[in-house]
Chain A
């Protein structure tokens, strides 16, 4: 994992970050607190979707979805050269990482909207790791580049076998899985990230959550906010298949 970056379509990544910002901000401005509530719902839903994709990918390739594997290439952190990280500790039970530069934060801060970006960071990482690994994982984001005065993001994540139900221990850790043979020697293959697909998936989450929280007006406003991005990406007629 260290010293190696997952290739990334930077333009698509920026479009996705802009799409999030425009829609989240638009819902908040029009519907106030309830609009922001819909945004947070949507982020959590989106994070659960991505977390489940990550878990499925690891399991399909024969890897336990513990923290060291989870945070490998294709994990929750942004991909690409513009995401500059300092890995402090990486083990099945602990991941400590500083992010010195984040492509999402660059975009959101440049737009003068760190607070909208902060909603994403607050909701995304806990929901993602809870879905991908276990709801018993502890996700601490102590510094954030979208937080005024902070110069890096800090994630400290813990996944303790002693806090897990017995079944999950075996699913997550080799030493608790009696069927486990020799540990894998090869690193898990990278899991590509498709930010065009992310726009579609986030759009689905926004639409679903806006409708639930805000009714028809919320749904229509979300569609209005989304339309230019969907058109720009020429993805209106693409299916959600992955």
Chain B
């Protein structure tokens, strides 16, 4: 992978964090306490969705549910070159790792939004990994880069057969499933573009859903504002990046660097996530603004 390929992945990753940051900022700064409630709830729903989707994906592929598979076959977030972690222990029952470079945290620092990242870190991991592990994964994130004074994240998760039901144990550990045969072909790894697209749409959808539930039309308006601000910032990032690599922000550039499908109507995820007018709001407040800012006339 050359540097230009790395830049694509970095932009694909940063895009959904930028969107989260600008919507979260609106909810937190202008939505008051109800806005914070909505924000935390949205992150939890997003985590739960990813955890449950992953769990089902593994079960459908005859792969056991435990901490080893969670961080291998169960990893749904595509890799990207900046992220750096030190894995101290990785077994089916225990996972200990320190994250030393986190591109999420770097985006939040850039926008002076560590407190919004803090909320993400507090809510996401617990909910996602718990959902994956039948509610029995113990998730410990005792230090994190979104916490003032911390220079790394400490992750320590446990998943114990003793805390599971008989059926959950069977689905989780080979020794409780006599006759189990592992699949002989590896599961496909998440693709950069489609993987980040999935993260983007799910995160956006749950932010909108929770905001509307907590704040009604005000919540919808705040999300719309966040999308517009996020689109302006996304355009700025693309224009700067394109200039630095001696390119134009044209259709090819957008296809490569924006996680979202340029043809919003062609996105299959809307079959599940187009509620509360999510697709139309995204078209009006993100796509149009982004395309206008970068000078792209659309397809």
Contacts and interface: CB of A to CB of B under 8 A. Distances in A.
Contact of B40 (A37, A139, A163): A163
Contact of A156 (B126, B143, B161): B143
Closest 4 CB pairs of A and B: A142-B142, A142-B154, A37-B162, A140-B140
Contact of B37 (A40, A144, A158, A162): A162
Interface in A31-78: 33-34, 36-37, 39-40
A181 interface: no
Interface of A: 33-34, 36-37, 39-40, 88, 96, 122, 126, 138-144, 147, 149, 154-156, 158, 160-163
B142 A155 contact: yes
B141 interface: yes
User: Interface size class for chain B?
Assistant: 20 to 34
B163 interface: yes
Given A122-B138, A126-B138, A154-B142, A143 B36 contact: no
Nearest to A94: B147
A161 B96 CA distance: 29
A140 B156 CA distance: 8
A162 B147 CA distance: 18
B154 A160 contact: no
Contact of A142 (B36, B37, B155): B155
Contact of A40 (B139, B155, B162): B162
A177 to B, nearest CB: 15
A105 to B, nearest CB: 15
Contacts, number: 61
B88 A140 contact: no
B160 interface: yes
Contacts of B39: 162
Contacts of A39: 162
A4 B254 CA distance: 60
Contacts of A147: 96, 156
B178 interface: no
Interface of B: 33, 36-37, 39-40, 88, 96, 122, 126, 138-143, 147, 149, 154-156, 158, 160-163
A143 B88 contact: no
The winner among A141, A155, A156, A161 for most chain B CB atoms within 10 A is A156
Contacts of A142: 140-143, 154-156
Contacts of A96: 142
A116 B36 CA distance: 40
Given A33-B162, A40-B160, A154-B154, A141 B142 contact: yes
Given A143-B154, A163-B40, 18 more contacts: A36-B160, A36-B162, A37-B162, A37-B163, A40-B160, A88-B149, A122-B158, A139-B140, A140-B139, A140-B141, A141-B142, A142-B140, A142-B154, A144-B156, A149-B88, A154-B142, A155-B142, A160-B40
A31 to B, nearest CB: 11
Nearest to B161: A33
A143 B142 contact: yes
B66 to A, nearest CB: 14
Contacts of A158: 122
20 contacts: A37-B162, A40-B160, A122-B138, A122-B160, A126-B138, A138-B122, A138-B126, A140-B140, A140-B156, A141-B140, A141-B142, A141-B156, A147-B96, A149-B88, A154-B154, A155-B142, A158-B122, A162-B37, A162-B39, A163-B40
A162 B142 contact: no
Contacts of A141: 140, 142, 156
Nearest to B96: A147
The winner among A126, A143, A158, A162 for most chain B CB atoms within 10 A is A162
B230 to A, nearest CB: 22
Nearest to A141: B140
B149 to A, nearest CB: 7
Contacts of A163: 37, 40
A85 B40 CA distance: 31
Nearest to A142: B142
Contacts of B143: 142, 154, 156
Contacts of B126: 138
